[in-house]
């Protein structure tokens, strides 16, 4: 019986990986996000198990572990995709402001809705609940932008990376202690400086491990070190996710480093070789974690919340606020092309991960988890609609250049 259970688990995991790959192929052809198909698979699997009488509940601790590993992989993957150059600065600046401003405005607006819905809840607790609902999910956006133009894809990559890092830093600030004062604000600002200094040391230390290590086992050793850095930063209330993002960006943009002693020790060729392998393994690992996480999360979703009128009303109000604020910022303040960036507002892995990390003293007992599920599913469907309606404009054909004499 034990062997049967082991074989069943292995067969299920391998089947999910194959299915997720097929979903990626279908997503490229139909523009339906593969994450939505994974969620639907989890929901369908739960319904089937309920009908057969074999339903079981996956503990939230498993979701939290998978979410933490997936978060680290996805942020590292984003860092390895971010190219920094002078000609990209307007695009980077636009994405930085968009990811920061929209997140902050969304947090305040959603907190206001939660305060109106649950008047007895402290406003700080409403902010803590609003932060996960205001962070754009890079785990859903990253695999769903392959059909976009290079410029639009870069804008969204920068935006979701900023939204993830800023959102988690602000969440850690509000959940670090039971009180929020000037001491906490000063520590929050200084922790960013400390994280940047640590990032430089970590970058060179990990590069030394990757480039100079003669043992074949090196990449997953780096991942283990990154996880230790992330958890250690969490324990010290440091924005360790910023360190992981900086490590990926330094590896990907190594040609910008001009310090001769460092360039002599780490040649461009060796670093670029390592960056290629690191990006490949990171993408594969993120794919695996993302597959398991969203199937399990879909399995744990109870669709009976759709019959709760109050949940639909509050969840719909939150989604409308998120969509409206993004429209106002992109059209009025940023003057950025609305299509398809307007529709890329999905909430997912980080939303779930932070929601389960809310401390007990900031819990709002009257908050219905169905609101969380409603926002995640609705924003993912909105992104799917944006992907389906968006079509790249044909490139204008200019006058042909005169033939050269060469």
Contact between 24 and 143 (Cβ < 8 Å):
yes
Residue-wise pLDDT for 79-111, tens only, equals 887 777 777 787 778 878 888 888 899 999 999
**Confidence band (pLDDT; 50, 70, 90) for 184?**
low
Question: Distance of CA 31 to CAs 34, 377, 384, 387, 388, Å?
Answer: 8, 17, 7, 6, 6
**DSSP 3-state percent helix, strand, coil across the chain (nearest 5):** 75, 0, 25
- Cβ-proximal residues to 83 (8 Å cutoff; 6+ apart), any chain: 154, 252, 253
Exposure class string for 369-402: b at 16+ Cβ within 10 A, else e: ebbbbbbbbbbbebbbebbeebeeeeeeeeeeee
The pLDDT score that the predictor gives to residue 107 is 93
Task: Tell me the average pLDDT of the chain.
Answer: 79
**Confidence band (pLDDT; 50, 70, 90) for 321?**
very high
Whole-angstrom Cα Rg for the chain: 22
Measured between alpha carbons, how far is 78 from 158 in angstroms, rounded to an integer? 8
Higher-scoring residue by pLDDT: 357, 84: 357
**Confidence band (pLDDT; 50, 70, 90) for 126?**
very high
Residue-wise pLDDT for 7-57, tens only, equals 777 888 888 889 888 988 888 877 788 888 888 888 888 888 777 777 677
> What token pair was written down for 318?
């939150």
State the pTM of this model: 0.82
């Amino acid at each position: 019986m034990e062997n049967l259970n082991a074989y069943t688990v292995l067969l299920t995991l391998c089947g999910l990986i194959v299915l997720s790959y097929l979903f990626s192929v279908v997503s490229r052809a139909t523009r339906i996000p593969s994450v939505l198909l994974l969620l639907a698979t989890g929901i369908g699997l739960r319904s089937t198990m309920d009908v057969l009488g074999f339903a079981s509940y996956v503990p939230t601790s498993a979701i939290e572990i998978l979410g933490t590993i997936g978060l680290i992989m996805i942020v590292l993957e984003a860092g390895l995709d971010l190219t920094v150059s002078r000609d990209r600065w307007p695009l980077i600046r636009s994405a930085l402001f968009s990811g920061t401003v929209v997140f902050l405005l969304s947090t305040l607006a959603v907190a206001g809705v939660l305060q109106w819905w649950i008047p007895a809840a402290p406003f700080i607790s409403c902010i803590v609940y609003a932060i996960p609902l205001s962070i754009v999910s890079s785990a859903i956006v990253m695999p769903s932008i392959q059909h976009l133009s290079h410029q639009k894809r870069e804008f969204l990559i920068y935006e979701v990376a900023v939204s993830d890092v800023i959102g988690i830093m602000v969440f850690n600030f509000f959940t670090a202690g039971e009180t929020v004062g000037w001491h906490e604000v000063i520590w929050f600002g200084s922790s960013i400086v400390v994280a940047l200094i640590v990032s430089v040391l970590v970058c060179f230390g990990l590069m030394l491990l990757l480039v100079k290590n003669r043992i074949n086992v090196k990449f997953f050793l780096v991942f283990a070190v990154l996880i230790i850095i992330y958890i250690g930063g969490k324990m010290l209330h440091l924005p360790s996710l910023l360190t992981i993002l900086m490590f990926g960006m330094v590896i990907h943009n190594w040609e910008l480093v001009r310090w001769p002693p460092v360039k002599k020790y780490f040649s461009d060729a060796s670093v670029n070789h390592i960056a290629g392998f690191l990006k490949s393994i990171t993408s594969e690992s993120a794919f695996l974690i993302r597959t398991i996480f969203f199937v399990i999360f879909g399995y744990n979703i109870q669709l009976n919340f759709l019959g709760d009128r109050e949940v639909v009303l509050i969840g719909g109000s939150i989604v409308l606020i998120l969509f409206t604020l993004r429209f106002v910022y992109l059209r009025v303040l940023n003057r950025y092309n609305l299509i398809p960036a307007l529709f890329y507002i999905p909430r997912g892995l980080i939303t779930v991960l932070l929601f389960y990390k809310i401390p007990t003293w900031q819990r709002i007992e009257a908050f219905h988890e169905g609101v969380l599920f409603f926002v995640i599913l609705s924003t993912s469907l909105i992104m799917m609609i944006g992907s389906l309606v968006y079509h790249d404009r044909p490139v204008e054909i200019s006058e042909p250049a005169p033939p050269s004499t060469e």
